[in-house]
Amino acid sequence: MDAEPGTLRRIARGAFRALDLSRRVFWNGVFLLFVLLVLAALFRGGTKVPKDSVLVLNPRGDVVEQLTGDAADRARARLAGGEPRETLLKDLVDAIRRAKDDKRIKVLLIDADGMGGAGLSKLQDLRAAIDEFKKAGKKVVAVGDGFDHGQYYLASCADEIYMHAEGLLLLEGYGRFATFYKEGIDRLEIDWNVFRVGEYKSAVEPFLRNDMSEEAKTANRGYLEDLWAAWLRDVSAARRKKPEELQHTIDHMVELLREASGHAAAVALKAGLVDQVGGREAAEKRLVALTREEEDSHSYPRIGFRDYLKAGPRDRSGAKGRGDAVAVVVAKGPILDGTQPPGRIGGDSTAALVRKARLDEKVKAVVLRVDSGGGSSFASEVIREELARTRAAGKPVVVSMGSVAASGGYWIATSSDEIWASPSTVTGSIGIFGMFPTFQKPLAKHLGIHVDGVGTTWLSGALRPDREMKPELKEAFSTIIQAGYEDFLKRVAEARRMERDAVDRIARGRVWSGEDAKGLRLVDQLGSLDQAVAAAAKRAKLGEGYRVWYVEKDPSLKERLTASLLTWSADWIGVRVDEAPGGLLASWMRALRARADELALYNDPRGMYAACLCEVE
């Protein structure tokens, strides 16, 4: 028989049991808290809309066709304080359109202070929705500490514009500027091997020159002037002025500032570009007069557009609807090989969304919404082939171009029955390039590092960045790039029913505005996404009762629970979605980092790209 445990052993055993019990209680508590949070996230009540409310339209960051990452990614980033500063265009448009017929909403307030970049086509879509709101007999008020040309375009849609007395209205217009690296590359003695077809294919110029070529300046000036003319036309009409008057104010800003003793707000007021200098306090009094004063806050009742959308139907994508559908597949961002997250176009992942629409019996037509400067030519072809299969299945395919649909963005548009573009779309850039830098010279000169060896073929080790590129390999790459360009021309010629040489004359990497592209037969119609959807429905012979379904990847149960929990947690602790840090230097650094990040993502298996670095500033 065992001996009776000693006192020390009994104490140790009791302590262990207590520790084990504490561990179980702790982790069971954590699990229970997790379950409660998930249930709260899934079944939380809807947001209430106060009566006589002001709907606050305050986009933060860039206005985009598709948010970057999935819902869980964005919620994680919010909790970490680093959420991408983006606002979905569809969210803004949906909120305005719903509020138009909502008796609880009396006024729309535009607060564009936190808005970053927004292509003119996106601003025009917002303008159309705001005009519908105004036609319903409702007021629109805009307020801002100051405005750049994008923010002011949105503000000009309002009936009344209020600006701070110390604010600056800076209408700098559109520009296309690039950073050039040739001298630095030469100083470092890097061999930056570039292969391209098309004298207008300016995406590679920063690595070949210290300035912009005359060909690139000619092409850029052409579409930029079209965009600026549209901006002047729209803003002048909204402010009941002539475009020449607005241009005169911009051209003579220095003189006008001198006359106003340097007070920019006074210049804007005198020119009729704002209605009152007084900022948010003056706007608040006006909004109280247009609605009512709340007893607690002594201000006007309001609701942000994000909360307003939460108060409405949850199925805004159209996925749960019944009946025949027009499927919309959004292709936004750089085109890359393989599977990519939202905000990037993956050859496999975007093709999978098209395939999903093709195989759905309720889908009778597909609209591809393109907002991309291109990227991998291989991935572009994967997507184009899937669109071709959709057409072969008897489902019409209509392409709707957003702010940019150039190079690879145009490549994927070629397999369609109809192409729609905004007059201010940047498109074309039909051309191909490839780059392969080698660093053997600076490695040897500055670090004393050399590479040598043997291989079984002349290609062995030929693609090492620390070895000089062989002339034979350069010739091979040039041949591949030329063949890629010929394939591009062939795709366009067949799709647009044009001769190869006719396409070549308007291709060679040149960029066009949507308005010019229509005259060149690169697009069929000028109009919005809504018009493109209607055109697709007409081709499919659908009646009035069809639904619009924005096709997205189906998240797993784990992804849905994670996204709901993280989003609820971020909301619960009050994490804000703020605008990106301001300032010209911060803006420049963000743009430089974004360009480097984009180039680092390029993964075409052949190293061949149909890309246009044609952002408009």
Catalytically annotated residues: 201, 407
- The C-alpha atoms of residue 145 and residue 161 are separated, in whole angstroms, by 11
Sorted by sequence, the CB contacts under 8 Å of residue 402 that are 6+ apart come out as 65, 119, 121, 122, 332, 369, 370, 371, 422, 425, 529
- The C-alpha atoms of residue 227 and residue 239 are separated, in whole angstroms, by 18
Length of the chain: 617
Max CA separation in the chain (angstroms)? 108
- The C-alpha atoms of residue 416 and residue 45 are separated, in whole angstroms, by 43
- The C-alpha atoms of residue 323 and residue 329 are separated, in whole angstroms, by 18
Question: What is the secondary structure of 354-379 as a DSSP string?
Answer: HHHHHH-TTEEEEEEEEEE-EEEHHH
- The C-alpha atoms of residue 311 and residue 354 are separated, in whole angstroms, by 31
3-state SS of the chain: helix, strand, coil percent to 5?
45, 15, 35
Sorted by sequence, the CB contacts under 8 Å of residue 349 that are 6+ apart come out as 338, 339, 340, 553
Locus of tokens 């098309």? 198
Please name the helix (run of DSSP H) or strand (run of DSSP E) that holds residue 144, with its range, or none: strand 139-144
Query: Hey, what amino acid is at 178?
Result: A
Sorted by sequence, the CB contacts under 8 Å of residue 395 that are 6+ apart come out as 357, 358, 363, 364, 365, 366, 540
- The C-alpha atoms of residue 394 and residue 371 are separated, in whole angstroms, by 25
User: From residue 341, how far is each of 143, 200, 218, 394 by CA, in Å?
Assistant: 36, 31, 36, 29
Strand residues in 223-352 grouped as ranges (E): 276-277, 302-304, 325-332, 335-336, 345-346
Give the CA dihedral 545, 550, 556, 558, nearest 10 degrees.
Answer: -110
Instruction: Tell me if residue 229 falls in helix, strand or coil.
Output: helix
- The C-alpha atoms of residue 529 and residue 516 are separated, in whole angstroms, by 19
Locus of tokens 């291709």? 507
In 3D space, the residue among 126, 149, 110 whose CA is nearest the CA of residue 64 turns out to be 126
Facing residues of 369 across strands? 330, 400
- The C-alpha atoms of residue 601 and residue 345 are separated, in whole angstroms, by 11
399 touches 366 (CB < 8 A): no
Pure H helices in 360-439: 377-392, 408-411
